[in-house]
Copies of this chain bind each other. A is one copy, B any other.
Amino acid sequence: MRQPLTRELTDLLERGRDRQLRLAVTGLSRSGKTAFLTSLVHQLRHAGLAARLDLLPAAREGRLLGARRVEQQDLGVPRFPYDRAMAALDDSPPRWPEPTRGISELRLVIRYRPRRPGWVGGDTRRLTLDLFDYPGEWLLDLPLLGHDFASWSRAQVLDRGERATLFADWRQAVAGLDPAETVEEGRLAEIAERYAEGLRAAREAGFADLQPGRFLLPGELEGAPVLQFFPLPGLERVDQARLAGLPPESLYATLARRFRHYQQHIVKPFYREHFRRFDRQIVLVDVLGALDAGPERFEDLSRALSRLMQSFDYGRRSLLSRLFAPRIERLAIAATKADHVTPEQHEPLTGLLEALLAEPLQDLRFADVPVRALSLASIRATEAREVDHQGRRQPVLRGTTLDGETTLLFPGEVPARLPDADFWTRQGFEFPAFRPLPRDGDTLPHIRLDVALDWLIGDKLT
């Protein structure tokens, strides 16, 4: 009787022969993860025929034969809902796909012809590509592992700027609580809910630098005590030894216990079971959305990204390397929705992304992590046109807004470096949301998705 190799052993062998690759896609909410992954799968599936992937050498040279979906490795992880996403794009009028929540995965087997056919295996080869999609918000929790509850509480600053207003209810509820008192379970749940409401309101208002990330996507943990803690203000005024000696039922000990449970059972398992197994990673950033939302949000995005990028900093002293020894060998960072500005603005857009990430990029390069920044549109929503304006050719966009109105528009100039006060005063930027373009046959139009693909998987297709 045939003795099939175990799945794990087969995987190991495939990996050893460079035939398997685990590629992860992340980004904060609304950065365009679902559109990116949908388009990526679609382009690879139609690589031999309708897809336009001229900047991916294997495709340009006619060696990319196509891709087929097969069963993924981890049966307990939701499959990336590709069919549902395509159905939305093919609806009339076309809709953007529903965003995913939590992690999902999908496995493709890509068939290609190598540049030089080898001795064995005939003239076609297969690359097994595991795709993963997970919320960037989860990465914002990494720094939380470097804290204990007291230091984490001190690090949360919620009494300044617009955040102070958004968290007003919670701040009122938490004011005057004594770390030593016993707070009834129901009341504790209520105060925690106000904190979660503050986080949700902040996200609605466009803020991104929010912790703990899982409070925003609780899933099956909704109502569990591990998602019912909050920072305790004023701890810096209490003696350390006194805090450590408080009984287990005290407010301080209760919140600290939940904080530790969150670290151990929520944050760590994601890094241990998923993150450290990714080979390559793309991080999507909605730079234009933040530019549209004003200076406080833009600065917040910058802070959130620096925090998020810590998960890719493999410097030897990093918290991450010490805890999980991840092995991402190649990283891309992409400003999405590039089709929402006119073509000559794409270069400044990439420049702005690099400026936004200057510090983390510097750290990554120092740590010798190959990284590339680019701008792209996973699925085009506009066409570039030109109009005569005061005797000069002026580039504009033609697109249909979500309300169904077709417009010609010049959204404005993207600053190629971090915007200064002058930029914000001029408020020279308009960034409406457009519907995806109706699909023409099997072609899903994009901008530079092939460049991203080449950087992320091109070397495996030679």
Q: Which residues of A contact B (CB under 8 A)?
A: 1-2, 4, 7, 68-72, 75-79, 81-83, 102, 104, 184-186, 189, 219-226, 228, 241, 244-245, 247-249, 254, 257-258, 261, 265
Contacts of A72 in B (CB 8 A): 225
> What's the number of copies of this chain in the assembled complex?
2
Contact with A78, one of B68, B79, B104, B223 (Cβ below 8 angstroms): B223
Q: Are A221 and B76 in contact (CB under 8 A)?
A: yes
Q: Are A220 and B261 in contact (CB under 8 A)?
A: no
Q: Are B104 and A223 in contact (CB under 8 A)?
A: yes
For the complex, what is the distance from the CA of A186 to the CA of B254, rounded to whole Å?
46
Contacts A76-B226, A78-B224, A104-B223; A185 near B261 (Cβ below 8 A): no
Contacts of A1 in B (CB 8 A): 241, 244-245
Contacts of A224 in B (CB 8 A): 75-79
Please name the residue on chain B nearest to A73 by beta carbon: B225
Residue contacts A-B, CB under 8 angstroms, 21 given: A7-B248, A69-B185, A70-B185, A70-B249, A71-B185, A71-B254, A75-B261, A75-B265, A76-B221, A76-B226, A76-B261, A78-B223, A78-B224, A79-B189, A79-B223, A79-B225, A79-B228, A81-B223, A82-B186, A83-B186, A220-B220
Contacts of A257 in B (CB 8 A): 75
Contact with A247, one of B4, B82, B225, B265 (Cβ below 8 angstroms): B4
Please name the residue on chain B nearest to A68 by beta carbon: B184
Contacts of A68 in B (CB 8 A): 184
Contacts of A71 in B (CB 8 A): 185, 225, 249, 254
Please name the residue on chain B nearest to A72 by beta carbon: B225
Contacts of A189 in B (CB 8 A): 79, 83
Q: Are A186 and B69 in contact (CB under 8 A)?
A: yes
Assuming A69-B184, A69-B185, what are 9 further A-B pairs, CB within 8 angstroms? A4-B248, A68-B184, A71-B254, A75-B258, A75-B265, A78-B222, A79-B224, A102-B220, A220-B220
For the complex, what is the distance from the CA of A278 to the CA of B202, rounded to whole Å?
41
Task: Give the shortest distance, in Å, between A90 (CB) and chain B (any CB).
Answer: 15
